[in-house]
Amino acid sequence: MSFRLSDGTSQDLRVRVQGVPVDSYPALPPEVARGTVRRITVVGEEILHRRCREVTEFGTPELARLIDDMFATNAVADGAAIAANQVDVDLQLFVWDITDDWGVRHVGHIANPVLDELPAARRVLAEEAEGCLSVPGPYKLVPRPDHAVVRGRDKDGDPLVIEGRGYFARCLQHETDHLYGRTYLDRLSRRERKAALGEMENSKDRVFARRVARAVELGK
Q: CA distances (Å), 191 to each of 117, 138, 194, in order?
A: 29, 14, 5
Residues with Cβ within 8 Å of 19's Cβ and at least 6 positions away in sequence, in order, are 106, 108, 160, 161, 162, 163
Report the interhelical angle of 61-76 vs 190-217 (nearest 10°).
Answer: 100
175 counts as catalytic: yes
Q: What 3-state class would DSSP assign to 118?
A: coil
Instruction: Select which of 175, 192, 201, 217 is catalytic.
Output: 175
Residues with Cβ within 8 Å of 152's Cβ and at least 6 positions away in sequence, in order, are 92, 110, 111, 112, 113, 114, 159, 160
Contact by Cβ (8 Å): 154, 113: no
Question: What does the alpha-carbon distance between residue 97 and residue 91 come to, in Å, rounded to a whole number?
Answer: 19
- Residues marked as catalytic: 175
